Chains A and B, each alone.
Chain A
Amino acid sequence: MNKNILLFFATILLFMSACTKELSTTTNTFTPYQGNAFNDTTWIKNITGISPITSLADTLAQNTLFTDSIDLWKDKAIVFGDALQVDFKGGSCANNAGAPQDGKARIDIIRLQKKGDFIKAYRPNTNFTLLLETGSAFFIRISKNGSELALVPGASIKIKYTDIEEAENNMQVFYGKESLPFPTSTFDPANTWVRSLDTSWIKTWSTQTNSGIKKGYELEAKSLRWISAHRALDPNPAKTNIYAILPPNFTNKNTEVFAVFDHNRTVVDMHGDFASRSFTTSNIPLKTKLLLVSISKFGSDLYLGTKLVNDVGTVVNYSFTPEKKTLAQILAFLNSL
């Protein structure tokens, strides 16, 4: 009996001493949300219109829109401050059937000046795979009773504007080639700039004002919608492909990636490469300093990622992780480019 009692008390003492230890255990069981876009790490070969990236492009399309009304049969100089002037000639518009139109019409103008403007409008500065340097771009649309009009053959509109950079003498007129007409969809991966048949240089101008000398371009466009002043980058330097590698959450369904050149007003779209699960572009000159910018959208959440590349060289793959940002933060960032 005594042995039993001693054994019991020894057990109790052991038990009590064990009780001084921290026995509480914490377990965490994580369950991903089903159907949440952030958890979708799959890539697709063909970007569809319903992908989150389409919504992202529409969200970012925050460029300033200038609107005025015109009499289609009268000449009018539409002036937006002292930085932009559009000279419209009467009788130059026709409907889709080619019939000249008169009466009142609405003119909408979007100007792309900064590199961030081209990102917001998803209009990279490329002619197919050829890199371009821009001297601003415009979206001009004239519509009557909701129907978009076009310039009749031989007609033109003159755009005189002040540029944010020194005006170059070797700029040419380019028109935007669209596969998805804006503003039906901002996201148009097949869009590109196509040089005008008129390959003459765009006129530059300068004038003395109270605030100093203003310089700009005066281009004459023979068609509406996307109009720009571009020139090709130097085709001679050695070029390479570059890759942006993002975490698995950031796929070609939800992410746009651009290469923003530092010394040129050039923005290049880096498209999603299904094979390597990365974003890539080609024809990047070696030793180029550029900034990789990724913008992603998961539901209503936006992510912004940047990667500064000082010297494109033998290393052509760049990894970085986007961070969650607000739309205002992203727009502010883009406006700063």
Chain B
Amino acid sequence: MINNQFDKFFREQLKDHSAPVPEGLWEKIMPKDKKRPTAFYLPKKIGLGVLIASLIIAGLYGGFKYEQATNNNLVNTNIDNNSKLVDQNIKNTNAEGISTENTTIISSVKKENNFTNSIVANSPTIAVQKQTIISKSSIEYNLTNKIKADNYSYSLPAKGSSKNQTKFLTENSINNQKSSSATTHLDNKDEKETLSTLPLNESADENYTAFTKINPSLPILLNISETNNNFSLVNKTLLYNAHDKKIQGIIICPNIKSRSSFNTDWGIELYASPDYALKYVSNISAPQQYLDKKDSSEQMQISYTAGFRLIKPLNNNFLLKAGFQYSQLNQKFSYRNENEIKTTTVITTRIIIRSAGDTILVRDTSVLQQIGYNIKTVHNQFRSIDIPVTLGYQFGNDDLKFGINAGVVFNLSSWYQGEILDTTYASVPMNKVSNALYKTNIGMGLYTSISLIKRINDNTHLFFEPYFRYNLSNMTNSVSPYNQRFHIGGLSVGLRFNLNR
């Protein structure tokens, strides 16, 4: 009784009292919120493509596995961490008003501009029935203690009798100032939970606030973000995540800012890039003088690639991409032919004298010949159609993301056009029909890239992606006296569109 009076006294005195948020509180919170794993080491120089790509692929695979493991442990980790925090501020007093056993409530509170430093849960009700969770809550928070605001997780024993039912109560005064309600529908076919209404009835015991509930098989992660208590939006997000991730019994409350996050269903990237190819030639049986002459006659120029990729996000960070692209490598072939004769038709007019006093004008058409050297310049084109398949890892905030990608490029077809220098030092044409040196399929190549992705709007992102493609096979065939292959670097610029939104 004394305690009740004491509590009542403070409740009356602190009713409608709100404490200002200390300056710098949220600035301290935001960096923590933004802190993201920077993940991978990026080599400054892209050297041997095979080694780097292999390392990247291995890294991505390991990272992916690690990510999966991290996600699986996330709930327990949050529970543990937040339980410790709550233990400092919340007293578990009573289990009255909770109608189900073995409930666990995980509440994560992120930066809240309008947070009043007090949390009061007034009769929150969360209902779960089969594929639907209905959450009705009237929650008023008035928390006087300083809260580091990141996550508050509250853990209840997984199983037990009604004695084990747990409610969390702040030791500080709790006032019911306002209420809100939210209704969430989860599509969970496997769940056959009965409808559970969990009144956190303050009238039964107004000195505590129970943050929930609920079901031994349905741990709930509740993430309350700062902007406002817009639980309808929270629940919408809950719906997406629960549906997509198909994690039974887990309600993940993502950041409310997910309104701008990338859609996890499908996406498409449309891109084009200026390229520059590096030519590698190794000798088989050709004279070195010929290779030198050939090398000096060929100069790679700016090339380009265009295509599209379908994106299937594997989770928030990993993306699987596959697409179709067309590439054209441009090469300038210049060869100097000596002792060339250039002929020019000229018309001359002369005055001739047939005899004394007999002068006539003679117009003559003749040919002027000049001897010199002729530089023949041909723009060779090496074209190919490829299928790139890559695995990407991206991180960052919603407006700006960074990514790293690796994968393979399968060549479907290659064809060439232009002129090359043959071993007799004569320029010979090459085209789709007459091409004795080059393959029509150059096989597979390794692909690695880093990307910078800038959000334009909810559905569109602009990305820049420097990349390097390392071809594993020679483009020359077996009759060629030398081996030649191209490795390509470029900067893809394109747009990423979210699909199915």
Determine the main DSSP class of B at the interface with A.
strand
Q: Is A50 part of the binding interface, using a Cβ–Cβ cutoff of 8 Å?
A: no
Q: Could you say which residues of chain A place their CB within 8 Å of the CB of B379?
A: 23-26
- Known A-B contacts A5-B270, A8-B270; A26 and B377 likewise in contact (beta carbons under 8 Å): yes
Known A-B contacts A16-B326, A241-B355, A319-B364; the reply to A39 vs B370 at CB < 8 A is: yes
The smallest C-beta distance from B304 to any residue of chain A, in angstroms, reads 10
Task: Write the B23-35 contact mask toward A (1 if CB under 8 angstroms, else 0).
Answer: 0000000000000
In the complex the two chains form, is A249's CB within 8 Å of B369's CB? Answer: yes
How far, in angstroms, from A33 to B495 measured CA to CA in the complex?
Answer: 54
Q: Is A248 a contact partner of B346 (Cβ separation < 8 A)?
A: yes
- Of B342, B351, B367, B498, which one neighbours A276 at CB under 8 angstroms? B351
Which residue in chain A gives the minimum CB-CB distance to B499? A1
Q: Is the CB of B374 within 8 A of A319?
A: no
Pair A8/B308 contact, Cβ less than 8 Å: yes
Q: Which residue of B lies closest to A320 (CB)?
A: B366
Q: Which of A7-21 contact B (CB under 8 A)?
A: 8-9, 12, 15-16, 19
B373 within 8 A of A: yes
In the bound complex, CA of A206 to CA of B387 (Å)? 99
Question: Does B371 have its Cβ within 8 Å of any Cβ on chain A?
Answer: yes
Query: How far is the CB of B384 from the nearest CB of chain A, in Å?
Result: 11
What's the minimum C-beta distance from A273 to chain B, rounded to whole angstroms?
Answer: 8
Across the interface, do A245 and B306 meet the contact criterion of CB distance under 8 Å?
no
Of A9, A29, A277, which one neighbours B348 at CB under 8 angstroms?
Answer: A277
Number of interface residues of B (CB under 8 A): 44
Q: CA of A24 to CA of B431 in the docked complex: distance in angstroms?
A: 10
Bitwise interface map of B from 265 to 276 toward A, beta carbon under 8 Å scored 1, else 0 = 000101000000
- A241 touching B353, Cβ below 8 Å: yes
CB–CB A247/B497 < 8 A: no
How many A residues, CB 8 Å from partner? 43
Contacts of A39 in B (CB 8 A): 370-372
- Rounded to whole angstroms, the CA-CA distance of A39 and B371 in the bound complex is 6
Distance in Å: Cβ of A279 to nearest Cβ of chain B: 11
Q: Is the CB of B326 within 8 A of A245?
A: no
Interface: A41 (CB within 8 A): yes
The 8 A CB mask of B248-270 against A (1 = contact, 0 = none) is 00000000000000000000101
The reply to whether A31 and B375 contact each other, CB–CB distance below 8 Å, is yes
Residues A247 and B268 in contact, CB atoms below 8 Å apart? no
In the complex, whether B362 has a CB less than 8 A from a CB of chain A is: yes
Give residues of chain B (244-302) contacting chain A, Cβ–Cβ below 8 Å: 268, 270
User: Which of A8, A23, A30 lies in contact with B374, CB distance below 8 A?
Assistant: A30
Distance A248 CA – B377 CA, assembled complex (angstroms): 29
Cβ–Cβ contact B460 & A4, under 8 A: yes
Q: Which of B326, B328, B342, B381 contacts A32 (CB 8 A)?
A: B342
Known: A24-B381, A36-B371. A317 touches B328 (CB 8 A): no
B368 contacts A247, C-beta separation under 8 Å: yes
- CB-CB nearest in chain B for A16: B326
CB–CB B372/A243 < 8 A: no
Residues of B289-341 whose CB lies within 8 A of A: 306-308, 326, 328, 340
In the complex, which residues of chain A have a beta carbon less than 8 angstroms from the beta carbon of B368?
A: 41, 247-249
B437 contacts the other chain (Cβ, under 8 Å)?
no
State whether the Cβ of A38 lies closer than 8 Å to any Cβ in chain B: yes
Task: Mark each residue of chain B from 477 to 501: 1 if its CB lies under 8 Å from any CB of chain A, else 0.
Answer: 0000000000000000001011000
- Report the separation of the CA atoms of residues A38 and B350 in the bound assembly, to the nearest whole angstrom: 22
Q: Which of A31, A245, A248 contacts B373 (CB 8 A)?
A: A31
Q: Does residue A82 face the partner (Cβ distance < 8 Å to B)?
A: no
Contact of A248 among B366, B374, B498 (CB under 8 A): B366
By the criterion CB–CB under 8 Å, are B326 and A15 in contact?
yes
Docked Cα-Cα span, A225 to B425, in Å, equals 55
Which chain A positions have C-beta within 8 A of B354?
A: 240-241, 316
Using known A-B contacts A39-B370, A245-B350, determine if residue A15 contacts B381 with beta carbons closer than 8 Å. Answer: no
Which of A12, A38, A317 is in CB contact (< 8 Å) with B352? A317
Chain B min CB distance to A304 (Å): 15
A278 within 8 A of B: yes
Question: Which residues on B sit within 8 Å (CB–CB) of A252?
Answer: none
Q: Would you list 25 pairs from A and B whose C-beta atoms are within 8 A, ordered by A residue?
A: A4-B495, A12-B308, A15-B306, A24-B378, A24-B379, A24-B417, A26-B377, A26-B379, A27-B376, A27-B378, A29-B375, A29-B377, A31-B372, A38-B369, A39-B371, A39-B372, A41-B368, A245-B348, A245-B350, A245-B362, A247-B369, A248-B368, A280-B352, A317-B352, A319-B364
Known: A1-B497, A32-B370. 18 other contacts (CB 8 A): A8-B270, A9-B308, A26-B379, A30-B340, A30-B373, A31-B373, A32-B372, A33-B371, A240-B355, A243-B362, A245-B348, A246-B366, A247-B366, A247-B369, A249-B369, A276-B351, A276-B352, A317-B364
| The 3 A-B residue pairs with the shortest CB-CB distance in the complex, in nearest-first order | A32-B372, A8-B270, A29-B375
